[in-house]
Amino acid sequence: MLLQDKYKQLIDAANAGGVSNLKVREQDNVLHVDGSAPDGATKDKLWSVYNQIDPDYRAGDLIMNVDVAASSGSKAKVTTESTNLNIRKGPGTDQPIVGKASHNEMVTLISKTNDQWWLIKTDKGEEGYAYAQYLSPQ
Amino acid sequence: MKFFKTYLILFLISSAVFIGCKPKDSDLQAKVEKNLQGSPETSGVTVDVKDGVATLSGEVKVHNAVEKAAASAQDVNGIKSVVNNVTMQAPVVEAPPVEVNSDATMMQGVKDATKDFPTVTANVNDGVITLTGSVKRSNLQTLMMSLNTLKPKKIDNQLTIK
Nearest CA in chain B to A94: B112
- pLDDT by residue for chain B (162 residues), tens only, comes to 566 677 767 666 665 555 555 789 999 999 999 999 998 899 989 999 999 999 999 988 887 899 999 999 999 999 999 999 998 887 665 678 898 999 999 999 999 999 999 999 999 999 999 999 999 999 999 999 999 999 999 999 999 999
Nearest CA in chain B to A27: B98
Q: What is the ipTM of this complex?
A: 0.91
Distance from CA of B19 to the nearest CA of A (A): 59
HEC per residue, B24-44:
CHHHHHHHHHHHHHCCCCCCC
Chain B within 8 Å of A21 (Cβ-Cβ)? no
In order of A40, A62, A98, A100, B114, the CA distances from A36 in angstroms are 10, 17, 30, 27, 24
Nearest CA in chain B to A56: B140
Of the candidates A47, A60, A92, which has its C-beta nearest B112's C-beta?
A92
Q: What is the pTM of this model?
A: 0.68
Q: Test B115 with A58 for CB contact under 8 angstroms.
A: no
Q: Tell which phi-psi region holds residue A115, choosing left (phi > 0), alpha (psi between -120 and 50) or beta.
A: alpha
pLDDT tens by residue, A26-48? 999 999 999 999 999 999 999 99
Distance from CA of B160 to the nearest CA of A (A): 10
